[in-house]
Amino acid sequence: MLNFRPSITAQYSAVVDKSVSIVRQLQSCRRYAEARGWDVVGEFVDDGVSATANRPEDRNGWAALLAATDFDAVIIWKVDRLARRVLDFLHADEALQKRGAGLVAVEDPIDMTSPQGRAFAVMLAVFGEMEAEAIRARVRAARAQLLKDGRWAGGGIPYGYLSARNPGGPGWVLVKDPDREPWLVAIVGKALGGVTVNAITTWLTSEGAPLPAGSIARRKSGGIAWNRQTVDGILRNPVLAGMSPHNPGRPKSAKRADPFAVFRDEEGEPVVNEALAVITAEEFTVLQKLLDARSAPQARKRSEREATSPFLSRVVRCDDCDVFLCRGTNQKRPVLYCPSCRQTMSRSAFDPYLIARLLADRGREPLGGSTVEAHWAAAGSSDEARRKILLTQLESLRVRRGVVGRYFDEDRVLLRWRARDSA
């Protein structure tokens, strides 16, 4: 994104989102600004972010633009680079109107300052949404045909399997991995025998079992460590029973795939490849019930649960599922997790990050005849008191999914403070 200032007192900005060539978009916006006599006052780029899957307000570049001051226009390269849904486009334009800023597109001749221009811009957004839906339909149809032909439709290769050239025609098929299949059979056998996912994870680590191909190993005491999420994902993959996952049109909020959403024949029965199965369909159903029964911390005895801080109780929402994150532990470390899609956020880094942001951004805000910073100091170590202070300043706090790893990723945190006159 770019910000521009003309030779007089007004200021302008241009915005560039995902493209095959970000450099090309930036150059086009700069030339457009130069032709109109505008001066650049800043650049904001959202690289590698899909306008189809991400709303403008959830992107770092767009949020940084709205946080900037003194600009009168926003130039985007094309309407469909900003938004692929009409509603998202209208929300983005509304946010600019509240700032008194207009919207201009380099490749699309739109002028949001007139009723005719606004109508034309909405039409472009409609066509962008139609194109995105057409692409999704083509992808779904192609995947369905691959599965119908018995070929591998792509994506992450399940543990215990390999992709190989299709001996009966074009494309690729799945085959069992001779090195990892014995481990897969052992994992499934232990789970069906009542062994918990955590216990299986510990066993795999202690035995030095090979990790999934292409995975990023986590080091622990000089060795390679498995993690619970990997094992749980392995046990929930329907390929264990020779079935192929098939989730056409699965919404973004359903990040955790339904293990029973599988490719089916014309009669609605699952298509089973016996050559890939390590358990029967009936055993797979039993396995899923066992896993679901142990998913929630509330399923464990109260004496076995570890106490966690109530500081963020019913404060943080999952951005994908729009539900409050629950408190829990993972390998005895405090985490927040989504009860729907199962994404997690480690609190060891998240809590200190949030507290630092609160005191830095809102510490001097007035609160109860004093300031936020003073009330925070008076709260001491009381998590309940701290939570009440946080809620007086918070508009919304959401966490989106990200790459699971060792390090805290602040880009996953979508934080909005209350308007200063309403804190």
Q: Please give the residue that has the higher pLDDT: either 68 or 300.
A: 68
Q: For 76, what's the count of Cα atoms within 13 Å in the CB-facing half-sphere?
A: 29
pLDDT-derived band at 354, boundaries 50, 70, 90: very high
| Amino acid residing at 197 | V
Domains and CATH numbers, the chain: 2-131 (3.40.50.1390), 180-295 (3.90.1750.20), 302-422 (no CATH)
Quick one: pLDDT at residue 6? 34
| Cα gap 224→209, rounded to integer Å | 9
Position 371 pLDDT exceeds 70: yes
pLDDT, residue 303, reads 47
Q: Which residues lie across from 15 on neighbouring strands?
A: 76
Region 357-371: what's the mean pLDDT?
92
Over residues 256-273, mean pLDDT: 76
pLDDT in tens, 206-233: 999 998 876 644 444 445 689 888 899 9
Q: How far is the first Cα of the chain from the last one, in angstroms, to the nearest whole number?
A: 31
Given pLDDT bands bounded at 50, 70 and 90, which one contains residue 125? low
| Whole-prediction pTM | 0.45
Averaged confidence pLDDT in the chain: 78
Specify the 3-state DSSP secondary structure of 404.
coil
- Candidate ranges 79-93, 122-136, 324-338, 354-368; pick with highest mean pLDDT: 354-368
pLDDT digit string, tens, across residues 310-349: 999 999 999 988 999 999 887 778 999 998 888 888 899 9
pLDDT range class, residue 184, cuts 50, 70, 90: very high
Render pLDDT for 14-65 as a digit per residue (tens, 0 to 9).
Answer: 443 444 478 888 888 888 888 888 877 778 887 766 665 667 767 777 878 8
What percentage of residues in the chain have a pLDDT greater than 90? 28
Does 405 or 85 have the greater pLDDT score? 85
Considering only 148-157, 192-201, 286-295, 362-371, which range has the smallest mean pLDDT? Answer: 148-157
Q: Pairing between strand 12-15 and 73-76?
A: parallel
Res 287 pLDDT > 70: yes
Which of 84, 94, 91, 71 lies closest to 15, judged by CA?
71
CA distance 174 to 176: 7
